[in-house]
Structure 1
Amino acid sequence: MTSLERPQNGIHHVTAIAGPARRNHAFYTEVLGLRLVKKTVNFDDPGTYHLYFGDEAGSPGTILTFFPWEHANPGRLGIGQTQETAFRVPEGSLGFWTQRFIERGVAHDSIVKRFGETVLPFSDPDGMRLALVCTPGAEAEAGWTGGGIEAAHAIRGFHGVSLMVADGTRTGAILVDVFGFEAAEAEGQVRRYRVPGTTIGGVIDIRSAGDFLPGREGAGSVHHIAFRAADDAAQAAMVDKLTRDHGQRVTEQRDRNYFRSVYFREPGGVLFEIATDAPGFAVDEPVGHLGEALKLPAGLEPMRARIEAVLPAVA
């Protein structure tokens, strides 16, 4: 089996829906200490921002993005949605984070054990479910020290996401056959999938919840999960396998300026994307100045003045 037939890539990014842009920006940069690596607009709704937060360079596996609508109605967690998005942090850092959350008024739960790992669940201002997972060896990796957070505690990209579906069998089959995951251990109704050898963004947990309420998209809910493809050829091979072996309908490729994407609704109802690693976020501004200027695709540049007039300030 070739590398194209069985890629081992993991998560590229997670995209969610938020309320006010200024509040969203403040929480992820000042409280969690992530870097704003790109400030652009929703290509399908250019009166709305598309904000990208991640590590210093916006590396695949570290990127959490948002469509912030000022008056978005709250979403409702349910079937066909991402239940939780988890970040990696160095071992021994959860005391720091618990104290920080208390001081900043961040809603959080007690520290728990899941699959043998120490986890601190919490929520952002829109109610999006998040978690910090203690990860052995993370302290040896570079960490973006934004928001006054020292490297010893800084976030090191995604641990993974958990999905809530009625029956995870077909979803799991796609993770294994198309995206290179392997089925691992289970805890109750949750089955863990891992990409062998991938440390950042290499975990997907699937909760098979049966006849539960369907989710409702809105502020605090994840819009889609994007998986990595090294290049166009790797992406095309995944699309071929999805359509031929899993009967999935996949969109045409769309140029998102910083990656090229295809989308499909997986059998459990969650919107999945396959995004190329190239060209990356430094294609239109240097790494040292990422996220400083509003970047627009060429087709929207003639409307820049009108777009800037309606977008709210973020800082």
Structure 2
Amino acid sequence: MKDIKRIHHISAIVGDPQENLDFYRDVLGLQLIKQTVNFDDPGVYHLYFSRQDENKEMVITFFNWPNEHRGRVGSGQVGTIAFRIPKGSMDRWQAWLKDKGVDSKISGLFDDATLEFKDVHGLSLALVEGEEESDDDAILGFHGTELLSADPEGTRSTLVDDMGLNVVSENPAKIHLETRGEEAHQIIISTSPMPKGLFGVGTVHHVAWNAEDEAEHKEWQSHMLDAGYHVTEVKDRKYFKALYFKEKGDIVFEIATEGPGFTVDEDVNELGQHLMLPEQFESQREELVQNLKTLQL
């Protein structure tokens, strides 16, 4: 098996879709690249965001649940999602967040200066400077994520022994891992015990890891089944193929293919501008549109 090279996407549960769009577009400067619905619950939006430029490898997605369904962050979940920003831009980002009314703090969560804050629905986010310099301060991609494992050593085993990540450092508070690809995504496994998390608004649903193509994807399915994980069948998510399993610390992982990509149903210049439905829901379009809040783009 090849080793996991990078994060494919991260999916979280948030509230009002317009508030979600306004925050990630107007505060974080990301582009809405896909309006669709949750394929397992088509009564709610599934919104995809990425960088503003042609590089769409960094994708964060959101299931927009009603605000009253609050989650509880805890063990068996992904914790903080960290984005990578250009070298030397953190002070400007902190000032920008303050200007937008977003409280933030500097910590050492990712073993480097980490600017931590929450989005409009309480989701834990962070910014960490990379080595890359840029003419602007736009988000470069994912820096990594924190995992709130119910079994930190088990999660370490999944990621290192079964998926090929490297160990950067270990101490009593956390285990620091890194993917082997050029993105070098940083994964922090917290060793502090926490009550079991509950999915809902303000929590992360899963982190997805990248497989280059369908052949490699099937190899991962067989590999993880052979390693004793309960792996789902391959699911067609239109823009990629997906399979899911819980790692040894109860966190939901996905492995997703790179293709076919987000331009299979929209021109690159129109990404995110229209509600795109998978074929199985097209006959319900009128009913679904009536129940979904119209987004102000």
Q: CA–CA distance in 2 between the matches of 1:243 and 1:57?
A: 36
Q: CA–CA distance in 1 between the matches of 2:173 and 2:90?
A: 26
Query: Quick one: which amino acid aligns to residue 40 of structure 2?
Result: D
SS of 1:281's equivalent in the other structure is: coil
Aligned residues: 295
1:283 maps onto 2:264 in alignment: yes
1:154 maps onto 2:138 in alignment: yes
Q: CA–CA distance in 1 between the matches of 2:198 and 2:103?
A: 21
Query: Quick one: which amino acid aligns to residue 158 of structure 1?
Result: F
Q: TM-score, normalised by structure 2?
A: 0.95
Q: CA–CA distance in 2 between the matches of 1:54 and 1:183?
A: 28
Q: CA RMSD in A?
A: 1.6
1:199 maps onto 2:183 in alignment: yes
Q: CA–CA distance in 2 between the matches of 1:72 and 1:193?
A: 35
Note the 1:212-251 alignment, pairs <5 A: 212-245=194-227, 247-251=228-232
1:184 maps onto 2:179 in alignment: no
Query: Quick one: which amino acid aligns to residue 159 of structure 1?
Result: H
Kindly provide the CA deviation profile for residues 85-122 of structure 1, in whole angstroms up to 9, marking residues without a partner as x: 0000011111111111111111322x233455221001
SS of 2:104's equivalent in the other structure is: coil
Unaligned runs of 5+ in 2: none
Q: TM-score, normalised by structure 1?
A: 0.89
Runs of 4+ in 1 over 4 A off after TM superposition: none
Q: CA–CA distance in 2 between the matches of 1:249 and 1:32?
A: 36
- CA-CA distance at 1:58 after TM superposition: 6.3
1:71 maps onto 2:67 in alignment: yes
Q: Which of 167-176 and 225-234 deviates more?
A: 167-176
Q: CA–CA distance in 1 between the matches of 2:77 and 2:8?
A: 18
The answer on whether the counterparts of 1:265 and 1:272 sit within 8 Å (CA) in structure 2 is: yes
Q: Which of 30-39 and 282-291 deviates more?
A: 282-291
Unaligned runs of 5+ in 1: 141-150
Note the 1:1-315 alignment, pairs <5 A: 5-55=1-51, 56-57=53-54, 59-60=56-57, 62-109=58-105, 111-114=106-109, 116-137=111-132, 139-140=133-134, 152-199=136-183, 202-210=185-193, 212-245=194-227, 247-315=228-296
Q: CA–CA distance in 1 between the matches of 2:260 and 2:7?
A: 17
Kindly provide the CA deviation profile for residues 110-151 of structure 1, in whole angstroms up to 9, marking residues without a partner as x: x233455221001001111000001111x25xxxxxxxxxx5
Q: CA–CA distance in 1 between the matches of 2:28 and 2:13?
A: 17
Instruction: Give the 3 Å change call, closer, same or farther, for CA 217–8 of structure 1 in structure 2.
Output: closer
